[in-house]
Chains A and B, each alone.
Chain A
């Protein structure tokens, strides 16, 4: 079932990001036109921008095929960008011009969100792999402290509780600490974390598992430094007490600023500090502070793409090269016109707009490729561990429930979810070195 080739292959994935390969993307004219549009907008060439926007408008209907909808989402993002920068001073008249740029991101109820993440392996892949790794690592502990840094609002936890209840005769005490991020990144939840927590506690009780739930208000803008600080100050982590500490990072760390957004030296946003390797980012600092907690296990799951470039054209190419996947897959699990599909695509649109139209701290979709994350975690003095055979077979079983295009790839210690052979999400497990 793996490595099904074909479908959209907008860029030759082997070409890298050099200027020369860039001109060869003519095979994918929509992307090429988007790039032209970016160049026109960035150089304030209003006439050309208008012409290309007109063309794009006509070739990318919002209700077209997956390729057209993808282009449409990028187009909207470009319009949003043009509306904020360049010569446009006219956001109010944009609204009067019936071009509502606001993306209608849905606020999910818990049930909706749970069934939503079940539709596709996008999140389930990481859940399954992480839960298997966690179960193995916490064997024998009476108290398990799970720090859940996840964008999907603890949707992973019920399955984990279930597995713990089934696996251990005397279930351990579970302490669940979540980062109540103040920023709104989709998917959005329609209830508070306190309410969510009590539901989770009730669910655990129904499985005869005792669970404590705690929310620590935090922000990824500062690399969760206040979050880590609170863990220490409130003495929530006892490295020597025989309590297992699991840090579960599910697609949230890419929101932490990295080097291209030098928050540490933020007085001049243009002074990107690549020149000195001694200057570290919030991202690396966060991993180092995690290491200082001496956790039993760190699981890192994230999307495998590079959306960090400060060059908008590079970012657009990269985003296009990655985000065609959710549009391509959606036909396999959601019918056209369904509300869930609207929610799903609105969330991708949000992501595209964030990557394309925003800059600075507002741009939180700062995905880094797997190789860079691995380097970072290693630099923070962790060592990677392999996923066990039954973890992998569980992931395979899960993938069998989904469309044929999904695949699993093992790369060194890590595993990678693929769609038609393209990397989608990676999962990795780490121990203090």
Chain B
């Protein structure tokens, strides 16, 4: 067992908060006294600490497993999770009884049932037996992937339109909440359907035991609930880190043992902490048991989850407002404009821009939109449907509108010649990408190709929104730690949202990312978020120059946040002309704007 812990952090031992509040055995022993002053001493002290706690029987589990953790990371995560828990503790006065009553539920509300069924229908492997063996032998269920989600979507379509027209408001043409209420019913139906199909392949007929299956029966988890939850909070983080480290070392027996313990502990927690831990545990379990989610089949589900994410919290709205701001300003005075959208989805970004163009001084330009999206698994032409709705809006607000939807498995399949571009002096182009570019990092050479195609489009502006995190480092444990930080903060920010349904859906939306970051590798790992600094380096070296998002964009984003975010934790900050939205001190997403360096005459020859 290796014991080199070069990353031990003095803070771990000197932070009185974690000592007192955590009450965790690692801290409460003599390590506190041997406060580290030199790097040399740390590792030793750590070993001592482990010895102590093992001797004292304070945490035989961890000692027995002999796990090693990077405590510098753990401290922060633990504190974060403690904060979360505190927040939740206040919110739920009846914390314990609440926990006891639904302690085996995967998600914190009864909505979890149908949500899970949705997920598991698309990824049937999720429904596994409590025993690991069945997890490793999911073959019989792997064929059951044909849930007709698109069918439901198709049926709900007329209703969406009905709602949007009856509301009498133009911007509503694109479904927001309208699209969200519908699938609930549909999915309940599909759940029933699915259960029938499923009974032969899965012994677990209860859809709520995804996590429970790691832990055994509901009864066996209940005693854990009574353990002090703060202490468990710290232990939970330790366990997550230990498990990730075991995974990193390919020590899967140990990892498996740990992930089960995580399940035990997670249910003793409240709110965001439990959810984050649970989702990370699930992702670790997937990695351990090599059950990977199938990304290709669930775009329609992703869309619906994204709509809820859009409604629940300000991140996507912020992305759209800030990107649109840059686009609107770049299009000022242009007669024909063309947006090429790498992230079309439900087209939610465009009604506001079209409305603003329609009313801009001097009259609206001709507006052309090229929406790019992945193929729908059922061959419905969702991109066309979205375009049709946008065309209706355009007609209402008297904007000349031209639309094309492009189905592409990857942006890397795109060529500028496909887009029927007009000369830049005729038509100004904006390229827009929200949470898309990082996916290209999974395919060697794809980013380079796409950036060169973008340059061929001769865009007036390129708007890029990306997660502000590095989840693409070469070392698994680093990615794990980073993402644990990142999603803890995100889940924390979601806690304030009003609608439970929206919140749960948003959590599932994020959970899919967590799963991808933690469980997947190679081409399958597409959530390769990188930081603004990394993007800047990449884009600058690819021949792009930054465009400052104006103070106007900052003020507006701040104002809209202040008015509607529903909590004062959100912060907009400006970083070298880019805008970041974060929760408290942690930036979470970044909008940046770019132009091609030698395209702009002001830049001279390049």
- Identify the A interface with B (CB < 8 A): 23, 29-30, 33, 36, 39-40, 45-55, 57-59, 64-65, 68, 79, 82-83, 87-90, 92-94, 96-99
Complex interface: chain A residues within 8 A of B328 (CB): 58
B564 touches A49 (CB 8 A): yes
CB distance from B120 to the nearest CB of A (A): 30
B321 touches A90 (CB 8 A): no
B177 touches A55 (CB 8 A): no
- Please tell me which one of the listed residues B172, B560, B572 contacts residue A54 in the complex, with CB atoms under 8 A apart: B560
Query: Nearest A residue to B355 by beta-carbon distance?
Result: A55
Q: Name the 4 nearest CB pairs between A and B, nearest first.
A: A97-B558, A59-B359, A99-B559, A97-B562
A47 touches B562 (CB 8 A): no
Binary CB contact string for chain B from 305 to 341 against chain A (1 if under 8 A, 0 otherwise): 0000011000001000100110010000000000000
* Known contacts A47-B176, A50-B564; A36 and B171 CB within 8 A of each other: yes
B563 touches A52 (CB 8 A): no
Complex interface: chain A residues within 8 A of B359 (CB): 29-30, 33, 55, 59
B566 touches A87 (CB 8 A): yes
Residues in B386-420 with C-beta less than 8 Å from chain A = 397
Complex interface: chain B residues within 8 A of A98 (CB): 554-555, 558-559
Complex alpha-carbon distance, A65 and B359, angstroms: 13
Complex alpha-carbon distance, A163 and B177, angstroms: 67
* Known contacts A29-B358, A48-B172, A82-B563; A54 and B568 CB within 8 A of each other: no
* Known contacts A58-B325, A59-B356, A88-B562; A51 and B556 CB within 8 A of each other: no
A-B contact pairs, 22 of them (CB 8 A): A46-B564, A47-B176, A50-B317, A51-B351, A52-B352, A52-B355, A53-B559, A55-B355, A58-B328, A59-B361, A65-B361, A79-B559, A79-B563, A82-B563, A82-B564, A88-B564, A94-B562, A97-B558, A97-B559, A97-B572, A98-B555, A99-B562
Complex interface: chain A residues within 8 A of B522 (CB): none
B559 touches A48 (CB 8 A): no
Complex alpha-carbon distance, A96 and B565, angstroms: 14
Complex interface: chain B residues within 8 A of A68 (CB): 361
Residues in B549-599 with C-beta less than 8 Å from chain A = 554-556, 558-566, 568, 572
A64 touches B361 (CB 8 A): yes
* Known contacts A54-B560, A79-B559; A47 and B356 CB within 8 A of each other: no
CB distance from B314 to the nearest CB of A (A): 9
B361 touches A99 (CB 8 A): no
Complex interface: chain A residues within 8 A of B351 (CB): 51
CB distance from A20 to the nearest CB of B (A): 12
- Please tell me which one of the listed residues A47, A55, A58, A90 contacts residue B568 in the complex, with CB atoms under 8 A apart: A90
Answer yes or no: B168 CB below 8 A from chain A CBs: yes
A33 touches B355 (CB 8 A): yes
B361 touches A47 (CB 8 A): no
Query: Nearest A residue to B565 by beta-carbon distance?
Result: A90
Complex interface: chain B residues within 8 A of A99 (CB): 555, 558-559, 562
B356 touches A88 (CB 8 A): no
Query: Nearest A residue to B325 by beta-carbon distance?
Result: A58
Answer yes or no: B523 CB below 8 A from chain A CBs: no
CB distance from A307 to the nearest CB of B (A): 24
Answer yes or no: B169 CB below 8 A from chain A CBs: yes
Query: Nearest A residue to B551 by beta-carbon distance?
Result: A98
Number of contacting residues on B, CB 8 A?
38
Residues in B512-557 with C-beta less than 8 Å from chain A = 554-556
Query: Nearest A residue to B569 by beta-carbon distance?
Result: A93
Query: Nearest B residue to A97 by beta-carbon distance?
Result: B558
- Please tell me which one of the listed residues B171, B560, B568 contacts residue A48 in the complex, with CB atoms under 8 A apart: B171
* Known contacts A33-B355, A48-B172, A55-B359; A93 and B562 CB within 8 A of each other: yes
Complex interface: chain B residues within 8 A of A53 (CB): 559-560, 563
Complex interface: chain A residues within 8 A of B324 (CB): 54
Complex interface: chain B residues within 8 A of A45 (CB): 177
Binary CB contact string for chain B from 148 to 182 against chain A (1 if under 8 A, 0 otherwise): 00000000000000000000111110001100000
Complex alpha-carbon distance, A88 and B565, angstroms: 8
Complex interface: chain A residues within 8 A of B561 (CB): 93, 97
Complex interface: chain A residues within 8 A of B566 (CB): 46, 87-89
B317 touches A47 (CB 8 A): yes
B559 touches A94 (CB 8 A): yes
Which of B498, B559, B563, B572 has the most chain A CB within a 10 Å cutoff?
Answer: B563
Answer yes or no: B360 CB below 8 A from chain A CBs: yes
Chain B interface mostly: helix
- Identify the B interface with A (CB < 8 A): 168-172, 176-177, 310-311, 317, 321, 324-325, 328, 351-352, 355-356, 358-361, 397, 498, 554-556, 558-566, 568, 572
Complex alpha-carbon distance, A46 and B562, angstroms: 12
B360 touches A59 (CB 8 A): yes
A47 touches B560 (CB 8 A): no
CB distance from B213 to the nearest CB of A (A): 37
CB distance from A317 to the nearest CB of B (A): 15
A88 touches B563 (CB 8 A): yes
A97 touches B555 (CB 8 A): yes
Complex alpha-carbon distance, A269 and B67, angstroms: 67
CB distance from B566 to the nearest CB of A (A): 5
Complex alpha-carbon distance, A30 and B360, angstroms: 10
Which of A33, A92, A93, A98 has the most chain B CB within a 10 Å cutoff?
Answer: A93
Complex interface: chain B residues within 8 A of A59 (CB): 356, 359-361
- Please tell me which one of the listed residues A51, A65, A89, A97 contacts residue B352 in the complex, with CB atoms under 8 A apart: A51
Which of A40, A50, A53, A99 has the most chain B CB within a 10 Å cutoff?
Answer: A50
Query: Nearest B residue to A90 by beta-carbon distance?
Result: B562
- Other than the known A48-B176, A94-B562, what 17 A-B pairs have Cβ atoms closer than 8 Å? A36-B170, A36-B171, A46-B564, A54-B352, A57-B559, A64-B361, A79-B563, A87-B498, A88-B563, A88-B564, A88-B566, A89-B566, A93-B568, A97-B559, A98-B554, A99-B558, A99-B559
Complex alpha-carbon distance, A293 and B449, angstroms: 89
A36 touches B169 (CB 8 A): yes
Complex interface: chain A residues within 8 A of B555 (CB): 97-99
A23 touches B168 (CB 8 A): yes
Complex alpha-carbon distance, A48 and B168, angstroms: 13
A83 touches B563 (CB 8 A): yes
Complex alpha-carbon distance, A274 and B559, angstroms: 39
A87 touches B564 (CB 8 A): yes
Complex alpha-carbon distance, A401 and B31, angstroms: 89
CB distance from B14 to the nearest CB of A (A): 33
CB distance from A75 to the nearest CB of B (A): 11
CB distance from A89 to the nearest CB of B (A): 7
Complex interface: chain B residues within 8 A of A39 (CB): 169
Complex alpha-carbon distance, A23 and B355, angstroms: 17
Which of A23, A58, A59, A98 has the most chain B CB within a 10 Å cutoff?
Answer: A58
Complex interface: chain B residues within 8 A of A55 (CB): 171, 352, 355-356, 359
Complex alpha-carbon distance, A92 and B567, angstroms: 11
Query: Nearest B residue to A57 by beta-carbon distance?
Result: B556
Complex interface: chain A residues within 8 A of B317 (CB): 47, 50
Complex interface: chain A residues within 8 A of B356 (CB): 54-55, 58-59
CB distance from B505 to the nearest CB of A (A): 15
Complex interface: chain B residues within 8 A of A92 (CB): 568
CB distance from B570 to the nearest CB of A (A): 9
Complex interface: chain B residues within 8 A of A94 (CB): 559, 562-563
Complex interface: chain A residues within 8 A of B568 (CB): 89-90, 92-93
CB distance from A336 to the nearest CB of B (A): 16
Complex alpha-carbon distance, A90 and B351, angstroms: 27
Complex alpha-carbon distance, A53 and B556, angstroms: 9
Complex alpha-carbon distance, A67 and B498, angstroms: 38
Which of A51, A53, A68, A99 has the most chain B CB within a 10 Å cutoff?
Answer: A51
CB distance from B414 to the nearest CB of A (A): 29
Query: Nearest A residue to B314 by beta-carbon distance?
Result: A50
B311 touches A50 (CB 8 A): no
B171 touches A51 (CB 8 A): yes
Complex alpha-carbon distance, A102 and B596, angstroms: 41
CB distance from B25 to the nearest CB of A (A): 41
Complex interface: chain A residues within 8 A of B325 (CB): 58
CB distance from A97 to the nearest CB of B (A): 3
